[in-house]
A and B are shown apart, each in its own frame.
Chain A
Amino acid sequence: MNLIYFVQQSFNGLTTGIIYGLIALGFSMVYQSLGCLNFSHTVSVMIGALLSYTFIVGFSLHVGISFLLIVVLLCIYGWAVNHFFFRYFLNMSKLIFMLVSISLAGVLQQVALIFWGPEARAVPNMLGSGTIQFMGALIPVQNLVLFGVSLLTLFALLLFFNRTKFGLSMRIASEDPEAASLMGVNVEKTRSATFAITAVLGGIAGFLVAPLYGVTLNLGQSLALKMFVAAVVGGIGFLPGALGAGLLVGLLESLSSAYISSGWRDVIIFAAGIGVLAVRPMGIFRKAVTKH
């Protein structure tokens, strides 16, 4: 009984964890290429969830088509947010960018509120029903599909950055924009692309999370802090770390809720996060840097 329960809770944790990881990955990616903290990142998650409701429930579209639409729309959203807004602030201090992005998040959330209304909504599970037995525990097919989609997304991302010309030019531009532009890379384009890609990542996360949590306007906010903790604990700017830390946060969340208390669950996560950072400020997945 105990082991099965543990496995069950762990799988639940890993499921939410990979979503945290996806979101944290996007967040970390912006930090890695631009050195900026985009606190409006979770807005893309909220939009993904809202759109999945609108398409699947509102327009009764096929789930696959909805997914594709979400990817396309979030891509445009990410590009637009940078093109019309963020790129004017990229040269300013990090603090200003952070505060600007927080304010933008507030504005966008309110705009969404006006368009969609404040009610919480349910999105039906379109990823597959039923359960599978594993080590005695019952794993919902939905979770497995969710996992699968996430892994595919990550794999696609890896391919993009390692095998495509544009992906490589994005990496160069993030390392050294001046050198990159001398080599003929359009750095402005790669920056727009960074925002577009991370918005898509957020949107996919929102799409995956919507049937699990329901769609509320607060979706972005409640995930935001955990996502932030995951990104920093994984090593801010270190992408695999963000993913790993996201999984850890999900696990910790699930197991704390199951074994300790659901009320104090978040306190445990946040306290643990700060505790880890106090000991290893560079994040758990990074090598130490020697200094005073």
Chain B
Amino acid sequence: MLEVTGLTMTFGGLDALKNVYLTINPREIHGLIGPNGSGKTTLINVITGFYNPTKGDIKFKDADITGSAPYNIAKKGMVRTFQNINLFAEMTVFDNTITGHFFRVSPSLPSVIFRTLPYRQKEIRTHELAKDVLNFVGLYDDRELKARNLPYGKQRVLEIARALMTFPEFLVLDEPVAGMNDQESDKVSELIRKLRDERNITVLLIEHHMRFVMNLCEKLTVLNAGAVIARGLPREIQNNQEVIDVYLGTGRKKNVEN
């Protein structure tokens, strides 16, 4: 589904990404981990079109998307969330959710002004979809609240809800459970698994929350200082000495249960 080849990203003389290769298969839940500053968010920014890579290609569903604008990539089915929550703070939860479906409707200006029948029907349908999605993620009761008044954990879930409204095939989540306790992150874990099982969505996620990552992800890629240092099954990565060294800087075996 996603193929990244030889991706290099240089900022003013500094290599944020070095020759990164990554393959993600359909219906996979893939984790991207690594210490802070290893380039994970940069990689996501490049893949989703927010940065133009210095070198390398990105193929999504067998089509080359290198250098495409983010909205075009989203239209093709790859939608991302942000590390620093990027909600429309002044809008309600409900309105935030609705925007996610907009590009699928894309009404023309005249149809909006004259409230044509097809337009009204599409708006009603969008509203119904929004209600469904909000119920699905458990935010329905908060729908009239302003997004900035939501507790942090719910804001993250709202971002996912908004992304879901685009009917994505591939979700890229940047730290979806940051700042959440175990209970909340378990719910998100369940949500993501449901998304894959019921809606066939492939997921690539960045996280530091090891328990969450190890329980949910089927494959992992480990980045350090912009380069891929390991990839494979979670169990293999757990026991990979280089990964352990990079995280802890000593020869100890990693305790994964925290």
- Give me the interface of A with B, judged by CB distance under 8 Å: 289-292
Q: Which residues of B contact A289 (CB under 8 A)?
A: 12
Q: How far is the CB of A93 from chain B (nearest CB, A)?
A: 14
* Interface 9-residue window, one of B49-57, B120-128, B208-216: B49-57
Q: Could you tell me if B50 and A290 are in contact, using CB atoms closer than 8 angstroms?
A: no
Closest partner residue, chain B, to A288 (CB atom): B12
Interface of A is mostly: loop
Cα separation A189 to B70 with both chains bound (whole Å): 45
For residues 40 through 58 of chain B, which have their beta carbon under 8 Å from a beta carbon of chain A? Answer: 45, 49-52
Interface of B is mostly: loop
Q: Which residues of B contact A290 (CB under 8 A)?
A: 10-12
Cα separation A181 to B185 with both chains bound (whole Å): 41
Closest partner residue, chain B, to A289 (CB atom): B12
Q: Which residues of A contact B11 (CB under 8 A)?
A: 290
11 example contacts (A-B, Cβ-Cβ < 8 A) are as follows A289-B12, A290-B10, A290-B11, A290-B12, A291-B51, A292-B45, A292-B49, A292-B50, A292-B51, A292-B52, A292-B70
Cα separation A290 to B70 with both chains bound (whole Å): 17
Q: Which residues of A contact B10 (CB under 8 A)?
A: 290
Closest partner residue, chain B, to A290 (CB atom): B11
- Give me the interface of B with A, judged by CB distance under 8 Å: 10-12, 45, 49-52, 70
Closest partner residue, chain A, to B52 (CB atom): A292
Cα separation A291 to B12 with both chains bound (whole Å): 10
Q: Which residues of A contact B49 (CB under 8 A)?
A: 292
Q: How far is the CB of A138 from chain B (nearest CB, A)?
A: 48
Cα separation A289 to B11 with both chains bound (whole Å): 8
Q: How far is the CB of A97 from chain B (nearest CB, A)?
A: 21
Cα separation A291 to B16 with both chains bound (whole Å): 12
Cα separation A290 to B52 with both chains bound (whole Å): 9
Of the candidates A289, A291, A292, the one having the most CB atoms from chain B within 10 angstroms of its own CB is A292
Closest partner residue, chain A, to B54 (CB atom): A290
Cα separation A78 to B62 with both chains bound (whole Å): 62
Could you list 4 further interchain pairs (A-B, Cβ under 8 angstroms) beyond the known A290-B11, A292-B70?
A: A292-B45, A292-B50, A292-B51, A292-B52
Q: How far is the CB of A79 from chain B (nearest CB, A)?
A: 37
Cα separation A250 to B70 with both chains bound (whole Å): 41
Q: How far is the CB of A221 from chain B (nearest CB, A)?
A: 35
Cα separation A292 to B46 with both chains bound (whole Å): 9
Cα separation A209 to B12 with both chains bound (whole Å): 42
Q: How far is the CB of A282 from chain B (nearest CB, A)?
A: 13
Cα separation A291 to B51 with both chains bound (whole Å): 6
Cα separation A289 to B13 with both chains bound (whole Å): 11
Q: How far is the CB of B82 from chain A (nearest CB, A)?
A: 14
Cα separation A292 to B49 with both chains bound (whole Å): 8
Q: How far is the CB of B9 from chain A (nearest CB, A)?
A: 9
Q: How far is the CB of A133 from chain B (nearest CB, A)?
A: 48
Cα separation A290 to B51 with both chains bound (whole Å): 9
Cα separation A290 to B49 with both chains bound (whole Å): 14
Cα separation A290 to B45 with both chains bound (whole Å): 13
Q: How far is the CB of A35 from chain B (nearest CB, A)?
A: 20
Q: How far is the CB of B227 from chain A (nearest CB, A)?
A: 20
Q: Which residues of B contact A292 (CB under 8 A)?
A: 45, 49-52, 70
Q: Which residues of A contact B12 (CB under 8 A)?
A: 289-290
Q: How far is the CB of B68 from chain A (nearest CB, A)?
A: 11
Q: Which residues of A contact B52 (CB under 8 A)?
A: 292
Cα separation A181 to B11 with both chains bound (whole Å): 33
Q: Which residues of A contact B45 (CB under 8 A)?
A: 292
Cα separation A289 to B10 with both chains bound (whole Å): 11
Q: How far is the CB of A230 from chain B (nearest CB, A)?
A: 27
Q: How far is the CB of A92 from chain B (nearest CB, A)?
A: 17
Q: How far is the CB of B184 from chain A (nearest CB, A)?
A: 32
Q: How far is the CB of A95 from chain B (nearest CB, A)?
A: 15
A-B pairs, top 8 by smallest CB distance, nearest first, are: A292-B50, A292-B51, A290-B11, A292-B52, A290-B12, A291-B51, A292-B49, A290-B10
Q: How far is the CB of B63 from chain A (nearest CB, A)?
A: 20
Q: How far is the CB of A186 from chain B (nearest CB, A)?
A: 34
Closest partner residue, chain B, to A287 (CB atom): B12
Cα separation A88 to B26 with both chains bound (whole Å): 56
Q: How far is the CB of B49 from chain A (nearest CB, A)?
A: 7
Q: Which residues of A contact B51 (CB under 8 A)?
A: 291-292
Q: Which residues of A contact B70 (CB under 8 A)?
A: 292
Closest partner residue, chain B, to A291 (CB atom): B51
Cα separation A41 to B104 with both chains bound (whole Å): 48
Cα separation A89 to B58 with both chains bound (whole Å): 47
Q: How far is the CB of A225 from chain B (nearest CB, A)?
A: 32
Cα separation A232 to B10 with both chains bound (whole Å): 27
Q: How far is the CB of B43 from chain A (nearest CB, A)?
A: 14
Cα separation A290 to B10 with both chains bound (whole Å): 9
